[in-house]
Amino acid sequence: MNAVGIDVSKGKSMVAAMRPFGEVVVKPFEVRHTASELRKLADFLKLLDGETRVIMEFTGKYYQPIARYLHEAGIFVSAVHAKLIHDYGNNSIRKVKTDKADAVKIANYGLTNWVSLVKYTPEDDTRLLLKTYNRQYHQYMKMKVALKNNLIALLDQTFPGANTLFSSPAKADGHEKWVDFTSKFWHCECVSKLTKAKFTAQYNKWCTKAGYRGSDSKAAEIHEMACRQVPTLPCNGATKQLVEQAVAQINAIASTLAFVGQEMQRLAALLPEYTVVMAMYGVGNVLGPQLMAEIGDVRRFRRKQSLIAFAGVDAPPFQSGIFESKDRSISKRGSPWLRKTLFQVMIGLLQTAPADNAVFQFLNRKRAESKRYYVYMIAGCNKFLRIYYARVKESLDTLYSAA
């Protein structure tokens, strides 16, 4: 048997082939991720005597081109978690870190764990696209939060408290009322220098034009607040440009987020578990596609505990001798994006408090037992994942058995 270890990096990889008892099939060599070199690698691996298995680390996106190419060429490929490779013993007290040494280490790991290697299966295009959109959504959301904080810092010097004037939800295109308002009334003097009647007329006219609901009482409240503020930046063209540019950046990223969210909804609707997931309480048009993106096909998990471990919300046992820990932390070995989505689902359940929901009842019971916040939130995530696994797997099994 031939264990081929591939140390993957961006654009190229180091390949080493080993047999039992330390026999070197071929010295480590470099392969670039081009069609011609990958074809040569696949042809070389097919010519080796005996069964050949390729082992590589599951790291980011770098491994995907070579893993997919070799899989489609009919070669057994196994993508192993980088933590497992890292913890695998080198049988040496010397610390050596080179691509060649890492490739040999991965090959030896494959020989040691030959029987338990899991065959790599590429994700279908819909799930892969949905996951990619979800990762982009999180990146854009970080940018939006940073830009909104920047605008609030500017408004603290021009119109303090303007970001608290409105609580209406964002529109379908991602625009928020308080952000658009500060583009028109970027300084408190833009309001305070007008009479109440004149500002009310301008405010209602702006609301009609921008697609928001106007109100005379709200206009009077804004005017009264603006007259009380003490700005630190002058009301001139330079200050106006600062605020308008900050608003334009927020609206641009908000429009992008709205588009990405709509596209995620469209892709998620193509998946067979869409109806089951969207019917779960606490899962909406945003969190539903995110859950499906990060969990993927639940049939790849042998049991519900595997899904919980994948999310990193499991608490592994810690025992030695007569000592057994009763206060353990979660592993956090899995997907941080999935954990974030699960926490948002739990927060929604606590805010809406549906009395007939099993997960909320479980959360409420843990709170009544005086459990700490993170303890009952993690327990709720575990409960939700167990229900998700049972419902979705049953639905998929029924669907595919009928097909």
CATH number for the domain spanning 179: value is: 1.10.287
Which pLDDT value is given to residue 334?
A: 77
Residue 80 belongs to a domain with what CATH number?
3.30.420.40
User: pLDDT at position 260, please?
Assistant: 95
Whether the Cβ atoms of residue 153 and residue 233 lie closer than 8 Å to each other: no
Q: Which domain holds residue 233?
A: 127-265
Would you state the pLDDT for residue 93? 67
pLDDT tens, 13-29? 899 998 888 888 888 99
Nearest to 368 by CA among 240, 360, 17: 360
Q: Clarify whether residues 218 and 305 are in a common domain.
A: no
pLDDT at 324: 75
How far is it, in rounded angstroms, from Cα 139 to Cα 152?
20
- pLDDT band of 380, cuts 50, 70, 90: very high
Residue 9 lies in a domain: yes
The residues with which 53 forms a beta bridge, in sequence order, are 3, 76
Residue 390 placed within a domain: yes
* N-terminal to C-terminal alpha carbon distance within the chain: 38
Q: Which of 112, 137, 172 is the last residue of a domain?
A: 112
Give the least confident one: 135-144, 259-268, 332-341: 332-341
- My answer on whether 104 and 203 are in the same domain is no
Average pLDDT rounded to a whole number, residues 55-61:
84
For residue 210, pLDDT beyond 80: yes
Average pLDDT over residues 109-118: 89
- Given this model, what pLDDT does residue 22 score? 80
Q: How far does CA 58 lie from the centroid of its chain?
A: 17
| 75 assigned to some structural domain | yes
Same domain, 72 and 11: yes
On whether both 104 and 186 belong to a single domain, the answer is no
**pLDDT tens digits, 254-308:** 999 999 999 999 999 999 999 999 999 989 899 999 999 999 999 888 889 999 9
In a domain, 246, yes or no: yes
Considering the domain architecture, whether residues 281 and 258 belong to the same structural domain is answered as no
Q: What was the pLDDT predicted at 162?
A: 93
* Section 86-106 average pLDDT: 80
User: Considering 236, 265, 294, which residue would you say is the last residue of a domain?
Assistant: 265
Tokens 């069964």 appear where?
51
Pair (292, 388) in one structural domain:
yes
Closest CA to 254 of 129, 133, 147: 147
pLDDT score recorded for residue 91 = 67
Residue 95 and residue 207 in one domain: no
Q: Flag whether 82 is in a domain.
A: yes
Tell me if 122 is assigned to some domain.
no
Picking from 163, 144, 392, the residue whose alpha carbon sits closest to that of residue 251 is: 144
Task: State the pLDDT at residue 403.
Answer: 67
Q: Is residue 235 part of a domain?
A: yes
**Domains identified in the chain, total number:** 3
Final residue of a structural domain among 233, 265, 297:
265
Quick one: 108 and 162 in the same domain? no
Q: Domain check: are 260 and 284 in the same one?
A: no
Distance CA 401, CA 389 (A): 18
Residues 207 and 312 in one domain: no
How far is the C-alpha of 24 from the C-alpha of 45, rounded, in Å?
14
Mean pLDDT in the chain? Answer: 90
Structure tokens at 245: 């540019």
In a domain, 118, yes or no: no
Q: Does 254 lie in the same domain as 303?
A: no
| Model pLDDT for residues 143-179, shown as the tens digit of each residue | 999 999 999 999 999 999 999 999 888 898 899 999 9
The answer to whether residues 260 and 134 belong to one domain is yes
